[in-house]
Amino acid sequence: MEETSILTIDGSYGEGGGQILRTALALSAVLGRPVELTKIRAGRKRSGLQPQHLSCVKALAEITGAEVYGAELGSSRLYFVPGTITGGSRRFDVGTAGAVSLVFQALVGPLMFAERASTLILAGGTHVPWSPPTPYVSQVFLPMVKRMGLEADWQLERGGFYPKGGGQVRAAVQPLPQLNSIDLTNRGALLAIRGVSAVAGLSRNIAERQADRIRRRLADVGYTVEIEIAELDADCPGDIVFVWAEFEQTRGGFGALGERGKPAECVADEAIDALLDFLADDAATESHLADQLALFMALANGRSVLTTARVSRHLLTNLWTIQQFLPIEVLLEGGLGEPGRLTIDGAGLKASSWRARAAGSAPACVSHLDR
């Protein structure tokens, strides 16, 4: 393969984190386009590929039969030459407390273009800092992409907290001909507020205190909540609160992790404060969901639109990465840290012809209009 056919992505762009790697490799897999990533995670204190990122590279390489060069711990440069996406049953061990949710989100886009269904066992961290906890995937992320036609499942089998990890999730992704566009400009009516307060290797009383705090905080402002108290099996102690709001058209979810010396009530307050901020706004998505939906909007058929409570640097970086691969129109209204409106005219990729559509594509630029 000629070197000129390889697309080079600067991993230091924008927030310079792992999202560039995951999005670039997912699009490389979907489009069948070789990619070179340079300056990987240059924006992070520990730059280069860390164990979690290596797990992601290896997982995407396995489902595509890719040739990979530079997949080593600490590497700042990677070549990824994908083959054909294949479904089937696989197990991926992310290692210690590496986030299984981030690996899954990198895999789900390519796997929906596989020739058959995929079943995944993902081992590692299920409730760890700086990543979506398992209830976010099952109660927020997947319900929203299912609105676009994707059929996928996510079941927690064992908890995995920092630092030991050891958790396990069983996931499934069904192939589909084409993603549908989505309109997330309005929330619709509030249907329910739900939550989970869970502990592993700690007193159930901690989970009960967190649940009580959530009920009282929400009751004080006129809301009711259905909350589950759970005790998880895990290799090391852990504590999590996750609350989410279900609207007619959208969902928003917020979590907090316990730590030594942090009272149960403070854990609950952290999640509830974020939820109440979202409920007081009228945007259809919170900033994390907007970022996670961008790739699917780009692959979908037709124009997708969403409003978000806050334009994040993560979102700006993800949009830039997407448009290095796809010649699509993207309009983002709203400045960094402000409410925003994102419109994407999707590429309309089809499972039967995605490689042909990728031929000859050229990168475009993000239109970013400050309010």
| C-beta separation of 330 from 208 below 8 A | no
220 is in an annotated binding site: no
Copy the structure tokens of residue 58. 């290896």
3-state secondary structure of 371: coil
Active site residue 53: no
50 is in an annotated binding site: no
Q: Which helix (H) or strand (E) holds 76?
A: none
Residue 183 annotated in ligand binding: no
What whole-number distance in Å separates Cα of residue 231 and Cα of residue 229? 7
Tell me: is residue 139 an annotated ligand-binding position.
no
Instruction: Check the annotation: does 105 bind a ligand.
Output: yes
CA 201 to chain centre: 28
For residue 315, what are the CA distances in angstroms to 6, 45, 69, 187, 192? 25, 20, 28, 20, 28
How far apart, in whole angstroms, are the C-alpha atoms of residue 165 and residue 338? 35
Percentages (nearest 5) of helix, strand, coil residues in the chain: 35, 30, 35
Question: Are the CB atoms for 335 and 311 separated by under 8 Å?
Answer: yes
Per annotation, catalytic residue among 53, 127, 314, 368: 314
The reply to whether 155 sits in an annotated binding site is no
State the Cα–Cα distance between residues 122 and 56, nearest whole angstrom: 11
DSSP-derived secondary structure letter, 348: -
Q: Just list the catalytic residues.
A: 314
User: Residues marked as binding for ATP?
Assistant: 105, 288-292
